[in-house]
Copies of this chain bind each other. A is one copy, B any other.
Amino acid sequence: MEMNVLEQILKKDLKLSDEMYDRFIELSGKKHLKKKEFFVQQGKVCYYLGLIESGVLRSYIEKGAEEFIKDFYFSGSLVVSYGSFLSGEPSIASIQALEETHLITLSCSAYNQLFKESNEWYKFGKYISDCLLIKKCRRESSFLVDDAYERYKLLLKTYPRIEQYVSQYYIASYLGIKPESLSRMRSLNIRKKENSFKIEDEYEKYKLY
């Protein structure tokens, strides 16, 4: 059975009915972003939840003259500035397409409309939040226990082809270091001791939406 990303989530993962899926389709929209276009800009409200059909995005915080990359988003992932989407407050981050990107979108008013129509939609709300949370928990552990090089290896393991889409400048920023340091690390890495033993990952089975 051929399923798109959305069917996969709503029907297979959440076991929502065909009727609910259809209702979602009615309320949802599509968005197309060209390279460097914004899904949301820092300081503005994030009115949409996005599900990536194709493309790549990054979220980042601008502070002074610097950009700090919070996350990358690939095909099949959820993308949203969640705090802003929920609260209607300005987003603390920008989300920008790094490649031509196609999204299924759900506005926050449509999102809230769903909750009014059936409490079963909270299942979807919880799912969104759970997916985002799992992603953040991984990142927290990584910042806490790993050094920059281990974070780099984890990133490559999570997104094996990321370096095809994302410049080293952005990857360094995501890791919390400067691009020159990443370059240095990579050139020295082959000799590096590989004695880091892996933390059991209770999140392993969660998708990285």
Which residues of chain B are within 8 angstroms of A43 by Cβ–Cβ distance?
A: 200
Q: Is A9 in the interface zone, CB < 8 Å from B?
A: no
* Interface of A (DSSP majority class): mixed
A84 to B90, CA, bound (A): 33
From A63, A119, A145, A197, residue with most partner B Cβ within 10 Å? A145
Which residues of chain B are within 8 angstroms of A87 by Cβ–Cβ distance?
A: 202-203, 205-206
Q: For A176, give its contact among B66, B89, B118, B144 (CB under 8 Å).
A: B144
A202 to B203, CA, bound (A): 27
Q: Which residues of A contact B (CB under 8 A)?
A: 43, 61, 63-64, 66, 68-70, 81-84, 86-87, 89-92, 118-120, 122-123, 125-126, 129-130, 132-134, 136-137, 139-141, 143-145, 176, 197, 199-206
